[in-house]
Amino acid sequence: MVKYGLPALLSGVVALSACSLAPKYQVPTTPIAAQYKTVGPWTSAQPADQIDRNGWWKMYGDAQLDDLETRLLANNTDLRAAYDHYRQAQAFVAQVESGLYPTVSVSGAPLRERQSDTAPLRGNGPADYNSVTLGASVKYDLDLWGRVRDSVVAGKDEAQATKADLASVQLSLEVELADTYVQLRGLDQQTELLSETEVAFAKALQLTQTLHGSGIVSGLDVSRAQTQLSSAKSQLSQNLAQRALLEHAIAVLVGTSASEFSLPQQTAAIALPAIPTGVPSTLLQRRPDVAAAERRVAEANAQIGVARAAYFPDITLGLQGGVQSAAYAGLVSAPNAFWAIGPQLVQYIFDGGFRRARLDAAKAATDEAGERYRGVVLSAFQQVEDNLALLSYLGTALDEQRNAAASAQTTVDLALRQYKQGTVGYLDVVEAQTVQLDAQRGVLDVQTRQLSANVQLLHALGGGWSSDELAQVAATPALVASNGEHGAN
């Protein structure tokens, strides 16, 4: 029976070392609709996932935006900070994984010692002597209850969540830049309109001054024309002020000093691309914040196993040995050798409820992470529905606003013609031109809001990200530029 003792013991150790006290992990259930509520041209694309993962913003066909996004990925400080945080998470994984392997240490202590003449149990040996010790030790935690392995699982889950956080930060910054750029381009179009309006109002002022000089109209018409021109100039200055602020915001996003950054004015319309949304279930694979929340549920679940393992004894195998002598000569020889081998067992008998409280905290943390995951998922569906609704209703509003602008232009033409003929007063012209300007600015405003909703829909759908990117946490980081700086592939 003795000859079977060691193999049986080793088999038992191996069997125990394969166990884990963490609950079987299951992704928290969330309500998922069969299709999006808002019906529009964005819901029928097949296959669902058709967005360019290496630059979703390219679908807008704007070379200036493409250049700005590239600069953001290479130079944005927030993105660099998020990447450095991800590197810390990777290093932590390597740290906890080290617990799966034995630790080996060596030591050396060449000492010259002297004993006190009045020391207790003082022998007849010399008071001064050498003590030379060279040794090594090996320790290995058997991890019978899976404490170390569950810690490794939790560390990897957190690293995956941090990688998803990195993708979420990157996507948010890309969207912020695209949205700010869209707003700036809308202001450029407003600037062009107000500049043309200023010229038109200046001509109208000149007309009223000529008619007033001829005694045809009163000074009241001149005053009204002057007020209208000054108001248009004021609106133009306010518009340029808003543009300057947006330009400064873009400078920060691309990692450039606002004092050294400028964007030329562009008034060409940005095309509104059709965005494939697919079915709601695919959203969970496309949103990095959803992936991060799910990974943190898995991490919390693994921590339950760590807390449960604390109830069982921690067994460590130890081996140490070396040589020790009072002389340097012949130090490394058999008579000077010493060694010790054996297991060390540590078991808490009483801890005042510490382990119970730690386990309760781990379970509560898992429940909390599960609820946060459900909240993120529900918010994701809401954001998609919000922007689909905005795109649908703003499309209708834009058609109506264009009709209003066309009608306002007709009214202005009639009012000017009748004013020159003397059949209406200049107040009618002013009112018609004011309505026309508001209608034209309304068209540009709705167009900008529609583009902004389009960008935000891409954000809500996860941009060009996919949860497949979490497959290998320890792989080459996703954001490393060829020149050694942080950027995007």
Burial grade of 484 (CB within 10 A; 0-12, 13-18, 19 or more): exposed
Give the model's pLDDT for residue 255.
96
Give the model's pLDDT for residue 159.
94
Give the model's pLDDT for residue 469.
66
Which amino acid, one-letter code, is at 136?
A
Q: CB within 8 A of 177, min separation 6: which ones?
A: 65, 68, 69, 72, 250, 253, 254
Q: Per-residue pLDDT averaged across 331-346, rounded? A: 88
Within 13 Å of residue 194, how many CA atoms lie on the same side as its CB? 21
Q: For the ranges 84-98, 122-136, 388-402, 440-454, which has the lowest average pLDDT?
A: 122-136
Cβ pair 221, 426 in contact under 8 A: yes
> Taking 50 as the threshold, does the pLDDT of residue 486 lie above it?
no
Pairing state between β 314-325 and 128-141: antiparallel
CA distance 254 to 270: 21
CA distance 247 to 214: 48
Of residues 334 and 155, more confidence is placed in 155
- C-alpha Rg value of the chain to the nearest Å: 37
Give the model's pLDDT for residue 38.
72
> Taking 60 as the threshold, does the pLDDT of residue 50 lie above it?
no
Structure letter (DSSP) for residue 339:
E
Burial grade of 301 (CB within 10 A; 0-12, 13-18, 19 or more): buried
CA-based torsion, 367, 372, 378, 381: positive or negative: negative
CA distance 198 to 7: 95
> Taking 90 as the threshold, does the pLDDT of residue 128 lie above it?
no
288-308 pLDDT, tens digit each? 999 999 999 999 999 999 999
- Quickly tell me which residue has 């918010």 as its tokens: 379
Helix then strand then coil, % of the chain, to nearest 5: 60, 10, 30
| Mean pLDDT, the chain, integer | 86
Of residues 139 and 118, more confidence is placed in 139
Give the model's pLDDT for residue 327.
84
CA distance 192 to 186: 10
Give the model's pLDDT for residue 480.
33
pTM above 0.95, yes or no: no
Give the model's pLDDT for residue 471.
61
> Taking 70 as the threshold, does the pLDDT of residue 463 lie above it?
yes
Give the model's pLDDT for residue 51.
56
- When pLDDT is cut at 50, 70 and 90, the band that residue 478 belongs to is very low
- Quickly tell me which residue has 């209608």 as its tokens: 439
Of residues 361 and 421, more confidence is placed in 361
Q: Per-residue pLDDT averaged across 472-484, rounded? A: 39
CA distance 399 to 396: 5
Q: For the ranges 36-40, 317-321, 385-389, 390-394, which has the lowest average pLDDT?
A: 36-40
> Taking 90 as the threshold, does the pLDDT of residue 374 lie above it?
yes
Full set of structural domains in the chain with CATH: 21-102+156-311+354-470 (1.20.1600.10)
140-185 pLDDT, tens digit each? 999 899 999 999 999 999 999 999 999 999 999 999 999 999 999 9
Q: Give the three-class secondary structure for 145.
A: coil
